[in-house]
Amino acid sequence: MSGFDSLIQRYITVWNETDTAARRRSVEQVWAPGARYIDPLVVAQGHDAIDATIHAVQAQFPGLVMRLAGPVDAHHDQARFTWALGPPNGEPLVIGFDVVERDRNG
């Protein structure tokens, strides 16, 4: 899968990181400087906006964690995956999917 499994796991880890400084470092490692995160409620471009979005989601859903909820479907430089958000040892409260695109640096 050309490294997508590892990239997606790092992506999910960023969403679960509650230490502000560690999360920011991870955002900078996973997202390109001008990257965009888009969902129905937000368009966040750049590290500052993506980090702020993750912080806001964590504040809205305290104590919940994101986890991979199935295989990563990838080809070329794009991947789609299903995630689940819920208590660490419980049933998911939200299930969704994201699509990522790698730049030439991975």
Task: Write out pLDDT tens, residues 65-75.
Answer: 999 999 999 99
More confident residue, 95 or 105: 95
- DSSP-derived pairing of the beta strands 73-75 and 78-86: antiparallel
- pLDDT-above-90 percentage for the chain: 90
What distance lies between CA 79 and its chain's CA centroid?
A: 12
Global pTM value? 0.91
Task: Write out pLDDT tens, residues 23-40.
Answer: 999 999 999 999 999 999
| C-alpha span between 82 and 62 (Å, rounded) | 21
